Structure 1
Amino acid sequence: MSVESTADQQAKLTAEQHRQKMQRRKQVQDQRLAGMTQEQGLVIVHTGNGKGKTTAGLGMVLRSLGHGYRVAIVQFIKGAWEPAEKAAFSPWSVGTADQPPQLEFHALGEGFTWETQDRDR
């Protein structure tokens, strides 16, 4: 027979309570997921001053592609050039006869605003 301290007994009780709580939470989540029948897309927009927007977005894209999801990138750039990111993602941009491409990449932009004198643009 072993002698357990009160602290050991309390730790086991707390661990058991936690396990039961997580089981109840899992049941609730499983019920919610079972009731979901509609798949829908997700739009995420990264904005703001400073750096990190492209890095954050491309990281999410890589994770999504890795999970087999279809992804579209719409990148607003400050010049009328093809971004290197588009070339880097080109392997995912090719579909087959029976499967569409996993990635669509759209780079938009006509250059810096001060490079045009046309106010309507």
Structure 2
Amino acid sequence: MTDWNNGRGWGQISYDQGVGLSSNVAMALTEQRMGAKTWQRYIRNFGFLKSTKSGLPQENLGMMQFRYPFEQANTSFGQAIATTPLQMLQAYTAIAGDGTMLKPHVVSKLLIQIHKSCL
């Protein structure tokens, strides 16, 4: 597997550079080193392929092709897996929240009261 980079690839780069450059090869190596079962567990623990319980009717759960090693590697860089925007948002909360994942909620309206103070 090689990275595209306008047909040139990246050449010899470190793993850290690969992550920084969003290298498909670096991500596929990450999946391989973790192993398919551990990688799949991480996918599910981040809330992918299951309901966010946001309250939206008929919420799509997403899908993943994971039968063959090349499909497993493809999930590591966003191919062979389909997620919903709410699943992505929920996963980002775990990253932004230092490991604490928040559940997204859909609301019909937001009421804001503005208080004016008198001096």
- On whether the aligned pair clears a TM of 0.5, the verdict is no
Shorter chain as normaliser: what TM range? Answer: under 0.3
The structure that has the greater radius of gyration is 1
- Return the TM-score normalized by structure 1: 0.21
Considering fraction of residues, name the structure with more helix: 1
